[in-house]
Structure formats: C-alpha cells, structure tokens
Amino acid sequence: MRTKIQTAFKSRINAIGLPILALCWVGFFWGTTWIASKEGVRQMPGLQLAATRQFIAGFLYLCFFILKKTPWPKGKQWNTIIILSFLNFLLSNGLSTWGVKYISSGLGSIIAAMVPLWILLIKTFSGERITRMAVYGILICFGGVCFIFSEHLPDFLQPDFRFGIFISVTSTITWSFGALYTKKKAASFNPYFSVGLQMFISSICIYAIMGVTGTSIPISEIPTNSWWSIVYLVVFGSILTFAAFVYALQKLPTELSSLYAYMNPIVAILLGAFIFNEPLSMEIVFGGSITLIGLYIINYAMHKKKGNTIQIPKQ
C-alpha cells in the first residue's frame, strides 16, 4: 500500500513538478539570452551575431533530422518555411539582436514582450472586434510604456537610441505577423525541422546582406567574449531551452505555459542592472510592471475569446 502511494505521489510530482520546472527554466534562461546578446554585440555587429548564432543552431538542427532521415518539406510547405524564416528570424531575431547594441537589454526585453499588443492592433485594423477586457489591457499597457519612456525622453535626442528603439519595435511587429501567419498556415510538416530550416535560411540571407553592404568583421577578429555569447545563445537559447519550452507547452495549460514571456523581462532587467550596471530606476520597475500586467490582460482576453495564446518572441 505504501509503495502504491509513493508511486502515485512520484507520478503526480512528475506530472506537475517537472513541467513547472521546465517553465521556470524557460523563463530564466530566455531572459538571460538578452544579456548574452548585449555582451556579444559590444564588439561585433548585431546582425553578424544573429546570423552566426542562427547558422550554428540551424546546422545542428538539420544534422539531427538528416541523421534521423526525416522527410524534407515538399511543395507549398517551403513557402511557409521561407516566409517565417524572413519574418521570425531574419527580421525579428536579427533586428532585436541588433537593437540591444543601442539600447539596454532590459528595455529591449520589455519591447519584445509587447507582441500581444501589436497582434491585437493588427486584428483590430483587419476588422475583428475586440473585447472590453482587451481595451482595458491596451490602456494599461500604454500607460506603462509612457511611464517607462518618461525617463528616456532626453535619450531620444541621440540618433543611436532612436534607431535602437525603431528596429526593436519593428522586430516585434514582424514577429506578430509571423505568429498570425503561423496560425493561418498551420502546416503538417515537422515544426522542429521547420525551425532549423528557418534559422539556416535566415542566416544565409543575413550573411549575404552583410557581404553586399560590407558591415561584417572577419571571423578572426571576433573577440572571445562574443564567441562565448554565441555558444551560450546556441546552447541555452536555441537548443536546451527550446526543448524545455516544447515540453512545458505540451504538459501545461496554454495560459500557464505562456507565463514564461512575462518572466523574461524581469530576468533581463535584473541581470542587466547587476552585470552591465544598466539603470534600475523606478520608471523601469513600475512602468515595466504595469506594461506586463496590461500585456497579460490582452493575452488573456485573446485566449478567452479564441482559445489561443500568443507566444512572445524568443531572444
């Protein structure tokens, strides 16, 4: 009898405890990738960092599925993969990585969390009606953003800061279109193999752009710290944490599994203040908290209406 109770207890722990641990892992380590990106772009171009990370991670994904003899995509499946590689990796991940060269990692992570707001606005402009709760979420989110940027008004006089904000916001908008496209064109093709192909295709495109514009630096000149950042981003950002994310997504309710997205900015802000001495002001703490509450309300409203929760971009 005692053995049966212990077995049932262990099964219960595995059923609830492990997915929660996986979710905490995702929330923490995807938050740390903002710090790794910030360190990486200190001494190398942001797009080159993104391309190198995507190339290595994509290559590893492809090797895994080729060794498993997984069938390659066919016909129109390639259309979806190419479009998502452009929206989610070339533009979203590429621009967000480039953005933290000019703004703090904490501010970049807060901007990245605003995807539910853009998706709601895109749906509204396309004629879809929104709920009253979603409107409340928009107002709360807008108030939080205004509070955050009240501290940064003088910084907007600096061209680099304005550019960093612009490309960071653009990266979240492109991810929003990618998220909506994914839901519209849900393919039967292996999603993990698809992600590997998207990263690999995106990296080749970014390398081509840098080759034409001459904005990259020779591999031999990439400093050790940047290489360590790339290794960290590949291992913890693109492989281990992604696996934990998929596991949590499969085992937990959608509204719970999406909470990782609101943990990421908290981790990025705290580590940014600790490691890079980024300002941890009342505007950032209070405004960031309000913004995340508003975004959660928007996400919850969309989930309650459609049964779908929008995933936040992964750095």
For the stretch 56-66, pLDDT in tens is: 999 999 999 99
pLDDT, residue 45, reads 94
For the stretch 227-266, pLDDT in tens is: 999 999 999 988 888 778 778 777 776 556 667 777 888 8
**pTM above 0.85?**
no
Q: Where are the domains of the chain?
A: 19-306
Distances (CA, A) of 110 to 1, 140, 164, 249, 295: 51, 14, 13, 22, 10
The Cα–Cα gap between 10 and 77 comes to 42
For the stretch 187-202, pLDDT in tens is: 567 778 888 899 999 9
pLDDT below 70 — which residues of the chain? Answer: 1-16, 183-188, 253-258, 302-315
pLDDT, residue 140, reads 86
C-beta of residue 171 within 8 angstroms of C-beta of residue 99: yes
